[in-house]
Structure 1
Amino acid sequence: MSGAVIRRLTGAELLARPQDVRRVYAEAFAGPPWFEDASAADGFIRRLTDDVTRDGFTAAGAFRGDTLVGLATAWTTPAPFPADRSYAQVAAAFGAGRTARWLCGSLEVDELALATAARGQGAGAALLDSVAADAPGGRCRLLTSGRARDAIGFYRRAGWVQAVHPAGDGTGIVVLLGPRHPARTAVGSL
């Protein structure tokens, strides 16, 4: 992994490194398909302040020496299933029963971000494994954009199964179930 060391982090430890977190996030999402500007990294820092208080919050960082070069965050999906952000679209795709059984109470990987210099060296997969390790009953999932073809390919190579496909034009939300999610074999029934 080219010298990157993965460490689990508390919310307080992650928040104590705002410049590092901002830099990694900005670098990870500046290019295609995201094209986020620096203000998006500031928004992530503001969201993170609330996210660290969520039930089941977990985080991991990839470090080279004392420099953060990657991060991943996750938390437990509440019940009832949220309706904000992209969740309503996900619930509609899964239906009420599957949403309750497969997603509520599962671990949601919210962010996975790597500095450019850390990509292609195993740090992303190690971060993903670290935050997903304690998923209740192996129930771990994530959402990404259908435009994020490289990310979707990465998740598939890491053993994740695509459960919800984007609209025909490639836009919209993609839901992936983790390698130990018990519903991964049933995704063809959606």
Structure 2
Amino acid sequence: MRIVRGSGPAVLGVLDALGDAYVEIFTAPPWAHRSPAAVRHDFRERLRGDVHRPGFRAVLAVDESGAVAGFATGWTTRAPFPTDRAYGKVLRRLGAERVAELLIGSFEVDELGVRPRARGTGLGGRLLSDLTTAAPGGRSWLLTWDRAHDALAFYRRRGWEEPEAVHGEETDVVVFLSPP
């Protein structure tokens, strides 16, 4: 397995291969209710914008056939904290003061995915580690869906911690902070 690192718009050169992997990963349980065509379209559109975010980086694992076996993307979270996508849920879950303290200026892991045939090989951990190694001040964060039980267990096994939610503000996302 070959590891490829990229930054900025250059990552769009592998958009089709990334899209294939993304669809396979994020239309399987617990996301099986999602339409593959819609997932592919939405991912492609998001990535086209995300590659222009300050500090955008991607790490890809490419197998011998040239297919993307796994990937991780992210960037540095800047102020003001966004409110689109699932960011509003993060803000409700943690509150503005804790978001500013814990997330602004940290490296945000946006996507991490490993195709089923490459799971159990340590690839997910390697991708996550590689992506977050150069995080500002060693601080990274991410969110995942509270029904993605395998993902929740994966991050917990690696020592990622969940900051406590603001009282009464539970959401369907779980925020994780990188190990100290």
User: 1:35-184, aligned counterparts within 5 Å?
Assistant: 35=32, 36-39=34-37, 40-65=39-64, 66-164=66-164, 172-180=172-180
Superposition RMSD on alpha carbons, in Å? 2.1
Any idea what SS the aligned residue of 1:104 has? coil
Cα offsets for 1:45-83 (capped at 9, x unmatched): 111010000011011001113332111100111111111
Any idea what SS the aligned residue of 2:99 has? helix
| Matched residue type, 1:15 | L
| Matched residue type, 1:105 | G
| Matched residue type, 1:18 | L
| Compared CA separation, residues 96 and 10, structure 1 to 2 (3 A) | closer
Q: CA deviation at 1:164?
A: 4.6
- Does the CA-based 8 Å contact 1:6-1:126 persist in structure 2? no
Q: Distance in 1 between matches of 2:90 and 2:9?
A: 30
TM-score by length of 2: 0.89
Q: Distance in 1 between matches of 2:58 and 2:164?
A: 25
User: In the alignment, which residue of structure 2 is the partner of 1:18?
Assistant: 15
- Does the CA-based 8 Å contact 1:26-1:37 persist in structure 2? no
User: In the alignment, which residue of structure 2 is the partner of 1:183?
Assistant: none
Any idea what SS the aligned residue of 1:75 has? strand
User: In the alignment, which residue of structure 2 is the partner of 1:184?
Assistant: none
| Matched residue type, 2:110 | D
Q: CA deviation at 1:133?
A: 0.8
| Matched residue type, 2:72 | A
TM-score by length of 1: 0.85
Q: Distance in 2 between matches of 1:96 and 1:67?
A: 41
Any idea what SS the aligned residue of 2:163 has? strand
Q: CA deviation at 1:116?
A: 1.4
Q: CA deviation at 1:93?
A: 2.2
Q: CA deviation at 1:31?
A: 1.2
Cα offsets for 1:77-126 (capped at 9, x unmatched): 11111111221221222222211111111111011111111111111111
Q: Distance in 2 between matches of 1:171 and 1:25?
A: 24
- Does the CA-based 8 Å contact 2:9-2:52 persist in structure 1? no
User: In the alignment, which residue of structure 2 is the partner of 1:9?
Assistant: 6
Unpaired segments of 5 or more residues in structure 1?
181-190
| Compared CA separation, residues 112 and 17, structure 1 to 2 (3 A) | same
